Amino acid sequence: MIQEGISNVLDAIRLQNTQLFFVSGNIFDYVSVGQKNEQNFLSFLEKITARKYPNFIVYDLFSGITPIRMSEAVKQLLNPETKQAESGPAKKDNKYNRMIAEAMGNHTDDSEKKEDVISKMVAFHLFDKLFTKQKDKPTIEPIILVINFAYSIVSQTLSESQEDARAMVIALQKWSQSKQIEESGHMIFLLTNNHQDIDARLFDKSGRIKLIYLKKPSEEERFDFLIGKQIEEKKAQLIARNSSGTTLKELERIISTTTDMPADQILQLCFLAKKEAIEAEYGDLLQVCSPRFGFEVIGGLENLVKKFQEIAFNMREGKTSLVPQGILLMGPPGTGKSLFAESYAKEAGINYFKVLDIKNMWVGSSERNASRLFNAIREAAPVVVFIDEFDQNQGQRGGFDGDSGVSRNLFKKLAEFVGDTSLRGKVLWLFATNRPDLIDPALKRPGRCDLRIPILRPDVHRLVQICERVPKEYPEIQLNVKRWKSLVKDCDGYSGADMVEIVRIAWELANESGRDAIIDGDVKDAIKDFKPQEIDEVEMAQMTLVAIRECSRMSLLPENVEKIINNCSSIIKGKIQETLGDDNTSSTIQSSSANPNKISN
């Protein structure tokens, strides 16, 4: 199986319809073609061009010019020992000539050692001479020129500050459009991890530059690689399925330590290797998480748990049309939105990423970060991607112009990527927010956030269920409580996090009394001792009503939704009456407490 990016390179060499290429992405990994694994893309390119291209030259800032293959015609043109200038023989003590000779391996005089690596300006002038037909000179056979670590030569940052870097950009633009280079069959490859590092002017429509991205290996490619390493089929399937986002070289390190290792240890090793590899490359943008708990720690919300279990099953089975593009979890703080997202990732048994802040103070860096983030997500699929406080991290379509349009650009990139239907069932976005009304409608529409689900403050029945599930999260806690409902009846309005803390305090009290399990009295004393965080009841009521109003399906609303609406409306109405008087009560309260079947999406 030949990877798409490698196939594009093979086609380009065969057809010769483009002369300048940027190859980015997984360039340092093994390249598998047939039964052979080349060490990296550069080694692969050298091998596949050997028959057709007698000249293969590599350049980078550290090593200078490295001629892997060089024809006699090129040697005659460049060798300062044989070249005759109009004024006579080239001087042997000329530093320029000495460096070229050293690069060609012709320098034998120890007293004239190379003083420095050839500069990029000298190197590019030299390459330009190779690509330009000259009268009375032998015809140059086709050349492959590879500029390695291209970000160090033509990066956006360098181009903005250094004149010679701008000259390199001009040279590459010139070469990409040169008729002489096209007719001679020369090809130039620039290699870099991330093409976003490169000066954007090289990718405008006026140039003939082809961008080729080498992806991390797919599950099928990882499996084929493992089978080629004589790994037993069942074990190869297990490792391949659980190592998305890793390279073949990283996979090789994994299998070197898995001899006679049980499945659970193999899975843990795969996760650690995957976490290390992804965070080494993208750790400034995302966190690779290992979900601690599944839905067993969720108290109540049976209808939502069932829905998410169905989604997890369909995602595992590859039934992409039954998987939402994205899910927006809405509701006041402390209702368990983050825990619900983590529980889903555990249930689905796939990668789980938490996105960090990708904004940067430097113009262009945020857009570059966004592109890097999206590459990481594609390579790690199937994956759950969680963004907390989405109303604050989304960027804005009509965002603040004082940040040079960064927010606006990020919004556009995010909206396009979240809405990419080719990733449906492979990438599931989970967003959490207290204020869905602050999120741009373009991000909430079907095709981006297909499901908008309210997760609200628990009623007494759900408070009991939350308390009973605490030992699932903390296995050392033991319960021997008989009358949960009567104990928590005075905790109405408490969050799920509040109830977990009350149970933990009760466990402390039980231990202090020498008991190995919590009893009713411990819970009663813990409730008395616990002081909940002060909250603005009106603000909580407003967040609740907004979450209900933004819900995308009636079946996702709680059964007692009408009671919740009436309670919230009474809280808001009471505050308005207190502030303005009875005659100024806002008519919006009446509309908020309308029948839930008439709630607008």
Q: Rounded distance, CA 236 to CA 210, Å?
A: 35
Q: Quick one: average pLDDT of 421-442?
A: 92
Domain 287-454 and domain 456-601 have a common topology: no
Q: Rounded distance, CA 356 to CA 379, Å?
A: 18
Most confident of 228-237, 394-403, 520-529: 520-529
Read off the amino acid at residue 189: F
Q: Quick one: average pLDDT of 142-152?
A: 92
Q: And the tokens for 13?
A: 């060499």
Cβ contacts of residue 131 below 8 Å, gap of 6+? 143, 175, 178, 180, 181, 184, 186
* Three-state secondary structure call for residue 42: helix
Most confident of 275-279, 305-309, 504-508, 560-564: 504-508
DSSP string, 49-97: TTTT-SEEEEEETTTEEEEEE--HHHHHHH-TTT-EETTEEPPTT-HHH
**Diameter of the chain by CA atoms?**
106
Least confident range from 89-98, 128-137, 185-194, 544-553: namely 89-98
Higher pLDDT, 518 or 261: 518
Token look-up 């990438």 returns: 427
pLDDT for residue 592 is more than 70: no
Q: What is the pLDDT of residues 442-483, one digit of tens each?
A: 889 999 999 999 999 888 888 999 999 999 889 999 999 999
DSSP-derived secondary structure letter, 311: H
Token look-up 């999260």 returns: 473
Q: How would you classify the pairing of strands 36-38 and 31-33?
A: antiparallel
Tell me how far CA of residue 53 lies from CA of 56, 174, 587, in angstroms.
7, 22, 80
Burial class (CB within 10 angstroms; exposed 0-12, middle 13-18, buried 19+) of 520: middle
What pLDDT, on a 0 to 100 scale, did the predictor assign at position 84?
40
**Mean pLDDT in the chain?**
82
What pLDDT, on a 0 to 100 scale, did the predictor assign at position 432?
94
For 267-300, give one letter per residue: b (16+ CB within 10 A) or e. bebbbebbbebbeebbeebbebbebebbbebbbb
**Regarding the domain delimited by 456-601, which CATH topology (the fold level of the hierarchy) does it fall under?**
Helicase, Ruva Protein; domain 3 (1.10.8)
Least confident range from 81-95, 185-199, 277-291, 501-515: namely 81-95
Smallest CA-to-CA distance from 599 within 564, 575, 574 is with: 564
For 420-431, give one letter per residue: b (16+ CB within 10 A) or e. eeebbbbbbbbb
CATH of the structural domain 4-214, one choice from 3.30.310, 3.40.50, 3.30.1760, 1.10.246:
3.40.50
What pLDDT, on a 0 to 100 scale, did the predictor assign at position 136?
66
Read off the amino acid at residue 243: S
Higher pLDDT, 584 or 289: 289
Q: Where are the domains of the chain?
A: 4-214, 219-282, 287-454, 456-601
Higher pLDDT, 349 or 68: 68
Task: Quickly state the pLDDT bin for 541 (edges 50, 70, 90).
Answer: very high
Among residues of the chain, what percentage have pLDDT more than 70?
83
**Regarding the domain delimited by 287-454, which CATH topology (the fold level of the hierarchy) does it fall under?**
Rossmann fold (3.40.50)
Smallest CA-to-CA distance from 466 within 495, 487, 490, 489 is with: 495
What pLDDT, on a 0 to 100 scale, did the predictor assign at position 548?
95
* Three-state secondary structure call for residue 102: helix
Among residues of the chain, what percentage have pLDDT more than 90?
33
Least confident range from 71-75, 239-243, 358-362, 412-416: namely 358-362
Q: Rounded distance, CA 586 to CA 477, Å?
A: 48
What pLDDT, on a 0 to 100 scale, did the predictor assign at position 89?
41
Q: What is the pLDDT of residues 59-99, one digit of tens each?
A: 998 888 888 998 888 887 766 543 443 334 434 444 444 55
Most confident of 147-161, 515-529, 555-569: 515-529
Smallest CA-to-CA distance from 1 within 222, 242, 229 is with: 222
Tell me how far CA of residue 482 lies from CA of 7, 153, 486, 567, in angstroms.
67, 72, 10, 30
* Three-state secondary structure call for residue 32: strand
pLDDT for residue 147 is more than 50: yes
Tell me how far CA of residue 545 lies from CA of 50, 77, 390, 555, 566, in angstroms.
69, 79, 18, 17, 10
Q: Quick one: average pLDDT of 321-345?
A: 91
Token look-up 């330590």 returns: 257
DSSP-derived secondary structure letter, 513: T
What pLDDT, on a 0 to 100 scale, did the predictor assign at position 269?
85
Q: What is the pLDDT of residues 365-419, one digit of tens each?
A: 677 788 888 988 988 888 999 999 888 766 455 544 455 566 777 778 888 999 9
pLDDT for residue 164 is more than 50: yes
Q: Quick one: average pLDDT of 414-438?
A: 92
Angle at 143 between CA 138 and CA 148, to 5 degrees: 140
